Structure 1
C-alpha cells in the first residue's frame, strides 16, 4: 500500500471523508479504486474509538476511507444489511469484497484485514 489514497484525479485523500447519503457514497466509491467504508452511529463509543484507527489507515495506505451514518439514509441499512456498528465494508473497483462488524479493531489488525480482502 502506498502513502496516501488518490482518486482518479490524483487528489490525495489522507483523512476519512464524511459521506451524507447514498449518492455521496456512490460517487466516493466510483472515484476511488479501493474504499474502506465505516458505517457508524452518533453516540457509539466503539465507533468513536475507531476514529484514530481509520484516520491512520487513510494517512498511511492507498485506501480511501469514508464514513457514513446509515440513520441519515435508511435505505442504506437494508442495502448493506447493517445490523451493528461499526460495520466496515471494503470496496475494490466498485464491488464489495469484504465486510466486518466485530466492534473495535486495532489498527494493525484492520490493515491485515484490508490486505486479505484485497488479495481475495
Structure 2
C-alpha cells in the first residue's frame, strides 16, 4: 500500500515529467477547475493512492497546455497510468469507482 494518502498536485509538464520519472507506477488525473466529474474523482483517486502501490497526482492542463497534445487529452477528467516512465493505460471522460480504478492500476 502506498504511503501517500493524498494525490500530489503538479504544476506543469516539467513537474509531471519529474513525478513520472520518480515513481515506478504513477496514476495522473488531468482535471479542470469547476468540472463536477473532476471534483467527484478527487476522493476516489485518494482512495486509489491508499489502496495501491501507485503514486497518484493531479494536473490541471490549463497550467501547461502542451500536455493536452502530448498525451492526447480532449476531455476531463482523464486518468493516465505510467509504469517505468511509459504510458500503459488511459481512461477518459467519466467518473469511475474506487474498485474499478484499483483494478485498472493493479493490472499494469
TM-score normalized by the length of structure 2: 0.96
Aligned residue among 71, 85, 95 for 2:76: 85
1:61 and 2:52 correspond: yes
Aligned match of 1:107: 98
Q: Map of 1:1-120 to 2, 5 A cutoff?
A: 3-4=1-2, 12-116=3-107, 118=108
Aligned match of 1:9: none
Contact 2:81–2:87 (CA under 8 A) maintained in structure 1: yes
RMSD: 0.9
Structure 2: which 5+ runs fail to align?
none
Larger Rg: 1
SS in 2 for 1:109: helix
1:59 deviates by 1.4
Q: Which has the higher contact order (CA 8 A, sep 6+)?
A: 2
SS in 2 for 1:104: coil
Q: How many residue pairs end up in the alignment?
A: 108
Contact 2:45–2:56 (CA under 8 A) maintained in structure 1: yes
SS in 2 for 1:13: coil
TM-score normalized by the length of structure 1: 0.86
